[in-house]
Amino acid sequence: MRLYERYYSIETLYKKLGTDPGVGSLRFYCLPGNNGHISLPFLIVISKMNSAPQDDRENLMIRIDGSEKSGSGTILRYAMALASLLGKELAMDNIRARRKKPGLRPQHLRSVIACSEMTGGRIEGADVDSTRIRYWPGTGSEKTHYAWEIGTAGSTTMLALTILPLAVFSRKSLHFRITGGLFQDFAPGAYHMERVLLPLLARMGVEASLKIVRPGYVPRGGGVIELKTHPAEGRLVPLTLMKQGQVRNVGGVSLASHLSPQKVSSRMATACREVLSRHGLRAQFELVDDKSAPQRGAALFVSLETETGCLIGADQAGRVGRRSEGIGAFVAKSLLEDLRTEATVDRHLADQLILFAALAHGTTTYLIPRLTEHVETNLWLIETILGVETSLEGNRLSIEGIGFERR
């Protein structure tokens, strides 16, 4: 028996089937009726077609100019994450336009591919140096284990932050193994993510844990982190941190790889401890002399907890020409600077919490140390994509979340 191919508009299909199947036109194969007319479709072969009216497609698409605000890779990462959660097509131009080397670097490309892999989506322009991409998220993947290698010393924690919102709103527990750099300038340190960011996100309903398997530094990378997540139970709850309070605990980690003879871990910790002690803070450090990293390197991390539940951290990675004592002093001074502002989060948390606050159900409020371009950029992004209402009065930041729920 011959089948006839037929297209129905959404309006026609709605009238015939009494249900709204979505946006676009659908293709059906139909049986001919006895009177020669086309019968109702009995089998849907292709679901959504790109034949929706142009206005409808534009309304569904997220368009982002990557040269706006900071013009950084963070715009790309968060736009990919939000497009994936919303199931909306993303068109982004001028990627990293304000950076010395515009376009996708290996670490940014890996974030794009990771989001697409987790949703079963499709990408155009996914190449190193590409300044534009087009992304069509899929409806999900059956995988529960993912392994990604950046291939350079690019930040593993930035990739982890990109996919964390997707993992939180997944329907299953997930395990990620990411290889690359763990400690470098201009990226979240692994210890900060493990011991400051994730514990705060846990209060919002994010169930995630981070394990540092092997340190990795610039330029070789080769470090490994493992991230494990569990589905959020319902919507994320807002976070309220309005008073800094008295400092209760101060501690950190002083890590050095293949540098035992130079006593780098001890020297960094001692220098940091001395600066903090002059300001009435007594810090305890865990000294780690590592032999597993592919190269020599170092990193120092310190954090404090206050009586009101604030977590404030600071860190710095080592590099050639950067003395251990200088690293220790810098980390201590960074912590003290944020503390003196009466902020309830540190300079890193100030922008890292924004995306999760936007997805939560209710108003998140906290005090930031100062307005940075990352804070400004992330606020612009959630306002543009999610329509979130935000306000910044002095150093008090408020974000009215949309109460996002998994699709």
d(CA 338, CA 304): 11
If we measure between CA atoms, which residue out of 13, 20, 11, 9 comes closest to residue 49?
A: 9
The catalytic residue among 108, 192, 258, 374 is 374
7-27 residues labelled b (16+ CB within 10 A) or e (exposed) = ebebeebeeeeeeeeeebbbb
Q: Which residues contact 400 (CB under 8 A, 6 or more apart)?
A: 362, 363, 388, 389, 390
Residues forming beta bridges with residue 183, ordered by sequence position:
217
Strands 389-393 and 396-400: antiparallel
Residue 365 and residue 389 in contact, taking contact as beta carbons nearer than 8 Å: no
Closest by CA to 70, choosing from 93, 96, 90, is 96
**Consecutive H or E run containing 357:** helix 354-359
Q: Are 206 and 168 in contact (CB under 8 A)?
A: yes
Tell me if residue 374 is catalytic.
yes
Tokens 């009177």 -> residue: 35
C-alpha dihedral (9, 11, 15, 18), degrees to nearest 10: 100
Cis peptide before 219 (omega within 30 of 0): yes
Q: Residues near 2 by Cβ (< 8 Å), separated by ≥ 6?
A: 32
Instruction: Tell me which residues are annotated as active site.
Output: 374
